[in-house]
Structure 1
Amino acid sequence: MNKRTRNKWLIGLGFVGLTIFATQAWADGAGSSGMPGSADDPVVTKSYVDQQIQQIAGGGNRLVVEELRAGQTLYGYEGTEFIVRTGKVVAVAGMNGDGLTDITSGADLRGGATVQSNHLLLIARSDSRGLRLAPGNNGVAYVMIRGNYEIK
Protein backbone atom coordinates (compact mmCIF):
# COMPACT_ATOMS: atom_id res chain seq x y z
CA MET A 1 0.00 0.00 0.00
CA ASN A 2 1.49 3.28 -0.96
CA LYS A 3 1.66 6.34 1.23
CA ARG A 4 -1.17 8.18 -0.49
CA THR A 5 -3.65 5.30 -0.17
CA ARG A 6 -2.70 4.79 3.47
CA ASN A 7 -3.34 8.51 4.24
CA LYS A 8 -6.78 8.31 2.60
CA TRP A 9 -7.61 5.28 4.74
CA LEU A 10 -6.47 7.03 7.92
CA ILE A 11 -8.44 10.16 7.11
CA GLY A 12 -11.53 8.07 6.28
CA LEU A 13 -11.26 6.04 9.50
CA GLY A 14 -10.72 9.22 11.50
CA PHE A 15 -13.80 10.78 9.94
CA VAL A 16 -15.90 7.66 10.64
CA GLY A 17 -14.64 7.53 14.25
CA LEU A 18 -15.38 11.22 14.78
CA THR A 19 -18.87 10.78 13.31
CA ILE A 20 -19.60 7.83 15.62
CA PHE A 21 -18.32 9.76 18.64
CA ALA A 22 -20.35 12.88 17.77
CA THR A 23 -23.50 10.83 17.15
CA GLN A 24 -23.13 9.02 20.47
CA ALA A 25 -22.53 12.28 22.35
CA TRP A 26 -25.58 13.87 20.73
CA ALA A 27 -27.76 10.83 21.54
CA ASP A 28 -26.68 10.90 25.18
CA GLY A 29 -27.59 14.59 25.44
CA ALA A 30 -30.93 14.21 23.65
CA GLY A 31 -32.00 11.24 25.78
CA SER A 32 -32.00 13.24 28.99
CA SER A 33 -33.85 16.48 28.59
CA GLY A 34 -32.36 18.02 31.71
CA MET A 35 -30.35 17.57 34.82
CA PRO A 36 -31.99 15.63 37.65
CA GLY A 37 -33.87 18.10 39.81
CA SER A 38 -34.30 20.69 37.05
CA ALA A 39 -37.67 21.83 35.68
CA ASP A 40 -37.31 19.31 32.83
CA ASP A 41 -36.58 16.39 35.20
CA PRO A 42 -37.95 17.20 38.67
CA VAL A 43 -37.00 15.18 41.70
CA VAL A 44 -39.88 14.62 44.12
CA THR A 45 -39.85 13.32 47.65
CA LYS A 46 -41.76 10.30 48.87
CA SER A 47 -43.86 12.51 51.16
CA TYR A 48 -44.98 14.59 48.16
CA VAL A 49 -46.00 11.47 46.23
CA ASP A 50 -47.82 10.10 49.29
CA GLN A 51 -49.66 13.42 49.70
CA GLN A 52 -50.79 13.40 46.07
CA ILE A 53 -52.01 9.81 46.34
CA GLN A 54 -53.92 10.64 49.52
CA GLN A 55 -55.63 13.61 47.85
CA ILE A 56 -56.73 11.44 44.96
CA ALA A 57 -57.94 8.70 47.28
CA GLY A 58 -59.76 11.20 49.55
CA GLY A 59 -62.50 12.04 47.10
CA GLY A 60 -63.56 10.67 43.80
CA ASN A 61 -66.30 8.28 42.87
CA ARG A 62 -66.52 6.19 46.01
CA LEU A 63 -69.37 6.60 48.47
CA VAL A 64 -68.60 6.84 52.18
CA VAL A 65 -71.19 6.35 54.91
CA GLU A 66 -70.74 8.70 57.88
CA GLU A 67 -72.57 8.82 61.19
CA LEU A 68 -73.74 12.32 62.14
CA ARG A 69 -74.40 12.92 65.84
CA ALA A 70 -75.94 15.80 67.79
CA GLY A 71 -73.68 18.85 67.84
CA GLN A 72 -71.80 17.83 64.69
CA THR A 73 -72.04 19.59 61.35
CA LEU A 74 -71.17 17.92 58.06
CA TYR A 75 -69.60 20.42 55.64
CA GLY A 76 -69.18 19.61 51.96
CA TYR A 77 -66.85 21.15 49.43
CA GLU A 78 -67.72 22.15 45.89
CA GLY A 79 -69.13 19.20 43.95
CA THR A 80 -69.76 17.01 47.00
CA GLU A 81 -72.95 14.92 47.06
CA PHE A 82 -74.96 13.84 50.11
CA ILE A 83 -77.75 11.30 50.51
CA VAL A 84 -79.39 11.20 53.94
CA ARG A 85 -80.24 7.56 54.64
CA THR A 86 -81.70 7.74 58.16
CA GLY A 87 -82.37 10.40 60.77
CA LYS A 88 -83.84 13.90 60.79
CA VAL A 89 -81.42 16.40 59.27
CA VAL A 90 -81.60 20.09 58.33
CA ALA A 91 -79.65 22.04 55.73
CA VAL A 92 -76.88 24.43 56.73
CA ALA A 93 -76.70 27.50 54.50
CA GLY A 94 -73.49 28.88 53.04
CA MET A 95 -71.84 32.16 54.02
CA ASN A 96 -74.16 34.16 51.73
CA GLY A 97 -77.29 32.32 52.84
CA ASP A 98 -77.28 30.04 49.81
CA GLY A 99 -78.71 26.58 50.36
CA LEU A 100 -78.17 23.06 49.13
CA THR A 101 -79.41 21.82 45.77
CA ASP A 102 -81.89 18.95 46.15
CA ILE A 103 -81.42 17.24 42.81
CA THR A 104 -84.15 14.66 43.48
CA SER A 105 -86.93 17.23 43.93
CA GLY A 106 -85.36 20.02 41.89
CA ALA A 107 -85.51 22.44 44.82
CA ASP A 108 -83.13 24.71 46.69
CA LEU A 109 -83.00 23.90 50.40
CA ARG A 110 -82.38 27.04 52.45
CA GLY A 111 -80.69 26.97 55.83
CA GLY A 112 -82.84 25.21 58.42
CA ALA A 113 -84.96 23.36 55.84
CA THR A 114 -85.65 19.71 56.63
CA VAL A 115 -83.88 17.28 54.31
CA GLN A 116 -85.92 14.31 53.14
CA SER A 117 -84.37 10.86 53.31
CA ASN A 118 -82.96 9.32 50.13
CA HIS A 119 -82.75 12.65 48.27
CA LEU A 120 -79.56 13.44 46.37
CA LEU A 121 -78.11 16.77 47.53
CA LEU A 122 -75.34 18.74 45.80
CA ILE A 123 -72.95 21.29 47.29
CA ALA A 124 -72.45 24.00 44.68
CA ARG A 125 -69.63 25.95 46.38
CA SER A 126 -67.11 25.52 49.18
CA ASP A 127 -68.70 28.13 51.44
CA SER A 128 -69.61 26.17 54.61
CA ARG A 129 -72.77 24.51 53.28
CA GLY A 130 -73.73 21.25 54.86
CA LEU A 131 -76.01 19.26 57.13
CA ARG A 132 -76.68 18.90 60.86
CA LEU A 133 -79.18 17.02 62.97
CA ALA A 134 -82.57 18.69 63.30
CA PRO A 135 -83.18 20.56 66.58
CA GLY A 136 -84.49 18.22 69.25
CA ASN A 137 -83.08 15.16 67.50
CA ASN A 138 -80.53 13.60 69.84
CA GLY A 139 -80.20 10.44 67.78
CA VAL A 140 -77.95 9.65 64.87
CA ALA A 141 -78.22 10.23 61.14
CA TYR A 142 -76.43 8.18 58.51
CA VAL A 143 -75.35 10.08 55.41
CA MET A 144 -73.79 8.73 52.23
CA ILE A 145 -71.14 11.08 50.87
CA ARG A 146 -69.33 11.32 47.54
CA GLY A 147 -66.58 13.92 47.39
CA ASN A 148 -64.60 15.98 49.87
CA TYR A 149 -66.10 16.82 53.25
CA GLU A 150 -65.35 17.41 56.90
CA ILE A 151 -67.27 16.92 60.12
CA LYS A 152 -66.90 19.50 62.88
Structure 2
Amino acid sequence: MRNLNFIKKAWFFVAFFIIGVLAVHIIQIAYAESEENEKTSNETILVTQDYVDEKISQLANANEELEELVEKMKNQLEEMEKELVEIEKYGKFIPLELEEGQTLLVGDSGEIILRGGKAKAIAGEAGGLSDVTAGSGVDIITDQDVPLNHLLLISRDDGRGLKVVSSKAWVLVKGPYTIEE
Protein backbone atom coordinates (compact mmCIF):
# COMPACT_ATOMS: atom_id res chain seq x y z
CA MET A 1 0.00 0.00 0.00
CA ARG A 2 2.80 2.17 0.65
CA ASN A 3 3.83 1.79 -2.96
CA LEU A 4 0.44 2.87 -4.02
CA ASN A 5 0.55 5.91 -1.80
CA PHE A 6 3.96 6.85 -3.20
CA ILE A 7 2.70 6.51 -6.79
CA LYS A 8 -0.26 8.76 -5.99
CA LYS A 9 2.05 11.36 -4.45
CA ALA A 10 4.51 11.14 -7.34
CA TRP A 11 1.70 11.53 -9.81
CA PHE A 12 0.48 14.57 -7.91
CA PHE A 13 3.97 16.17 -7.96
CA VAL A 14 4.44 15.48 -11.68
CA ALA A 15 1.01 16.95 -12.51
CA PHE A 16 1.69 19.95 -10.27
CA PHE A 17 5.07 20.50 -11.93
CA ILE A 18 3.59 20.33 -15.48
CA ILE A 19 0.75 22.70 -14.58
CA GLY A 20 3.26 25.12 -13.01
CA VAL A 21 5.47 25.12 -16.10
CA LEU A 22 2.45 25.70 -18.34
CA ALA A 23 1.21 28.52 -16.11
CA VAL A 24 4.60 30.26 -16.19
CA HIS A 25 4.76 29.89 -19.97
CA ILE A 26 1.23 31.30 -20.47
CA ILE A 27 2.03 34.26 -18.21
CA GLN A 28 5.22 35.01 -20.18
CA ILE A 29 3.32 34.97 -23.50
CA ALA A 30 0.60 37.26 -22.14
CA TYR A 31 3.17 39.67 -20.69
CA ALA A 32 5.18 39.76 -23.94
CA GLU A 33 2.10 40.58 -26.04
CA SER A 34 1.08 43.41 -23.73
CA GLU A 35 4.61 44.87 -23.92
CA GLU A 36 4.51 44.86 -27.74
CA ASN A 37 1.20 46.72 -27.70
CA GLU A 38 2.64 49.36 -25.35
CA LYS A 39 5.46 50.35 -27.74
CA THR A 40 5.00 53.80 -29.30
CA SER A 41 5.45 54.62 -32.96
CA ASN A 42 8.78 56.30 -32.13
CA GLU A 43 10.17 52.98 -30.96
CA THR A 44 8.93 51.10 -34.04
CA ILE A 45 11.45 51.34 -36.87
CA LEU A 46 9.95 50.50 -40.24
CA VAL A 47 12.76 51.83 -42.48
CA THR A 48 16.20 53.28 -41.96
CA GLN A 49 17.14 56.94 -42.47
CA ASP A 50 19.51 55.93 -45.28
CA TYR A 51 16.63 54.29 -47.15
CA VAL A 52 14.47 57.40 -46.77
CA ASP A 53 17.35 59.66 -47.90
CA GLU A 54 17.96 57.45 -50.93
CA LYS A 55 14.29 57.61 -51.94
CA ILE A 56 14.20 61.39 -51.47
CA SER A 57 17.30 61.68 -53.67
CA GLN A 58 15.71 59.50 -56.36
CA LEU A 59 12.55 61.62 -56.29
CA ALA A 60 14.59 64.83 -56.49
CA ASN A 61 16.47 63.50 -59.54
CA ALA A 62 13.23 62.42 -61.19
CA ASN A 63 11.73 65.84 -60.43
CA GLU A 64 14.72 67.59 -62.05
CA GLU A 65 14.38 65.43 -65.16
CA LEU A 66 10.67 66.21 -65.36
CA GLU A 67 11.32 69.94 -64.96
CA GLU A 68 13.87 69.77 -67.81
CA LEU A 69 11.34 67.96 -70.00
CA VAL A 70 8.64 70.50 -69.16
CA GLU A 71 11.00 73.36 -70.06
CA LYS A 72 11.93 71.64 -73.32
CA MET A 73 8.25 71.12 -74.15
CA LYS A 74 7.50 74.79 -73.37
CA ASN A 75 10.22 75.85 -75.82
CA GLN A 76 8.85 73.50 -78.48
CA LEU A 77 5.35 74.86 -77.89
CA GLU A 78 6.58 78.44 -78.30
CA GLU A 79 8.32 77.51 -81.56
CA MET A 80 5.18 75.77 -82.83
CA GLU A 81 3.04 78.78 -81.91
CA LYS A 82 5.39 81.03 -83.92
CA GLU A 83 5.17 78.64 -86.87
CA LEU A 84 1.38 78.58 -86.55
CA VAL A 85 1.26 82.38 -86.69
CA GLU A 86 3.36 82.24 -89.87
CA ILE A 87 1.11 79.58 -91.37
CA GLU A 88 -2.04 81.52 -90.46
CA LYS A 89 -0.53 84.62 -92.03
CA TYR A 90 -0.08 82.76 -95.31
CA GLY A 91 -3.38 80.91 -95.08
CA LYS A 92 -5.65 83.88 -95.77
CA PHE A 93 -5.76 86.78 -98.17
CA ILE A 94 -4.36 90.05 -96.88
CA PRO A 95 -5.75 93.26 -98.41
CA LEU A 96 -3.12 95.77 -99.52
CA GLU A 97 -3.41 99.32 -100.81
CA LEU A 98 -0.49 100.10 -103.08
CA GLU A 99 0.53 103.39 -104.68
CA GLU A 100 1.87 104.15 -108.14
CA GLY A 101 5.38 102.85 -108.68
CA GLN A 102 5.27 100.30 -105.86
CA THR A 103 6.16 96.72 -106.68
CA LEU A 104 4.60 93.71 -105.00
CA LEU A 105 6.89 90.65 -105.12
CA VAL A 106 5.31 87.39 -104.01
CA GLY A 107 7.12 84.26 -102.82
CA ASP A 108 6.53 80.66 -103.84
CA SER A 109 3.00 79.28 -103.51
CA GLY A 110 1.68 82.84 -103.32
CA GLU A 111 -1.60 84.10 -104.76
CA ILE A 112 -2.58 87.57 -106.02
CA ILE A 113 -5.94 89.12 -106.93
CA LEU A 114 -5.95 92.68 -108.29
CA ARG A 115 -9.23 94.15 -106.96
CA GLY A 116 -8.90 97.73 -108.20
CA GLY A 117 -6.51 99.99 -110.09
CA LYS A 118 -4.04 99.05 -112.81
CA ALA A 119 -0.86 97.00 -112.59
CA LYS A 120 1.67 95.38 -114.91
CA ALA A 121 2.90 91.81 -114.38
CA ILE A 122 6.47 90.97 -113.43
CA ALA A 123 7.50 87.50 -114.58
CA GLY A 124 10.24 85.49 -112.95
CA GLU A 125 13.24 83.72 -114.40
CA ALA A 126 11.27 80.52 -114.95
CA GLY A 127 7.96 81.91 -116.20
CA GLY A 128 5.13 84.34 -115.62
CA LEU A 129 2.09 84.58 -113.39
CA SER A 130 -0.39 81.70 -113.82
CA ASP A 131 -3.87 83.10 -114.43
CA VAL A 132 -6.11 80.30 -113.15
CA THR A 133 -9.29 82.33 -113.66
CA ALA A 134 -8.81 82.71 -117.43
CA GLY A 135 -8.61 78.96 -117.93
CA SER A 136 -6.41 79.34 -121.00
CA GLY A 137 -3.30 77.95 -119.31
CA VAL A 138 -1.20 80.87 -120.58
CA ASP A 139 1.02 82.78 -118.16
CA ILE A 140 0.89 86.54 -117.87
CA ILE A 141 4.40 87.75 -118.71
CA THR A 142 6.33 90.91 -117.84
CA ASP A 143 4.67 94.24 -118.76
CA GLN A 144 1.30 92.66 -119.60
CA ASP A 145 -1.73 94.20 -117.89
CA VAL A 146 -2.95 92.28 -114.85
CA PRO A 147 -6.70 91.66 -115.24
CA LEU A 148 -9.02 92.67 -112.40
CA ASN A 149 -10.44 89.95 -110.14
CA HIS A 150 -8.33 87.15 -111.62
CA LEU A 151 -6.57 84.71 -109.33
CA LEU A 152 -2.86 84.64 -110.18
CA LEU A 153 -0.62 81.88 -108.81
CA ILE A 154 3.09 82.30 -108.18
CA SER A 155 4.83 78.94 -108.30
CA ARG A 156 8.40 79.98 -107.47
CA ASP A 157 10.18 82.58 -105.40
CA ASP A 158 12.05 84.10 -108.35
CA GLY A 159 10.93 87.74 -108.33
CA ARG A 160 7.40 87.37 -109.70
CA GLY A 161 4.75 89.93 -108.86
CA LEU A 162 3.22 93.13 -110.14
CA LYS A 163 4.00 96.85 -110.47
CA VAL A 164 1.27 99.43 -109.85
CA VAL A 165 0.80 101.87 -112.77
CA SER A 166 -2.34 103.73 -111.58
CA SER A 167 -2.37 106.23 -108.70
CA LYS A 168 -3.61 103.47 -106.35
CA ALA A 169 -4.27 99.75 -106.59
CA TRP A 170 -6.00 97.37 -104.21
CA VAL A 171 -4.63 93.86 -104.10
CA LEU A 172 -5.42 90.70 -102.15
CA VAL A 173 -2.31 88.64 -101.51
CA LYS A 174 -1.84 85.25 -99.86
CA GLY A 175 1.57 83.89 -98.97
CA PRO A 176 4.96 85.50 -98.42
CA TYR A 177 5.39 88.90 -100.07
CA THR A 178 7.47 92.08 -100.05
CA ILE A 179 6.63 95.60 -101.19
CA GLU A 180 9.34 97.63 -102.90
CA GLU A 181 9.23 101.35 -103.73
Q: TM-score normalised to the size of structure 2?
A: 0.57
Structure-2 change in CA distance of 1:105 and 1:15 (3 Å): farther
Q: For residue 97 of structure 1, report the CA deviation from its aligned partner.
A: 4.4
Query: Which residue pairs with 1:85 in the alignment?
Result: 115
Q: For residue 22 of structure 1, report the CA deviation from its aligned partner.
A: 3.3
Query: Which residue pairs with 2:140 in the alignment?
Result: 109
Structure-2 change in CA distance of 1:83 and 1:138 (3 Å): closer
Structure (1/2) with the larger strand percentage = 1
- Compare CA radii of gyration and give the structure with the larger one: 2
1:29 aligns with 2:57: no
Q: Look up the SS of the partner of 1:71 in the other structure.
A: coil
| Aligned equivalent of 1:73, options 98, 103, 107 | 103
Unaligned runs of 5+ in 2: 1-31, 37-43
The residue type paired with residue 30 of structure 1 is A
The residue type paired with residue 91 of structure 1 is A
Query: Which residue pairs with 2:172 in the alignment?
Result: 144
Query: Does structure 2 retain, via aligned residues, the 8 Å contact 1:63–1:146?
Result: yes
Q: Look up the SS of the partner of 2:91 in the other structure.
A: coil
Deviations 1:93-123 (A, max 9, x none): 11x1421122222432222222211111122
| Bigger RCO (CA 8 Å, 6+ sep) | 1
Unaligned runs of 5+ in 1: none
Q: For residue 141 of structure 1, report the CA deviation from its aligned partner.
A: 1.3
Query: Which residue pairs with 2:127 in the alignment?
Result: 98
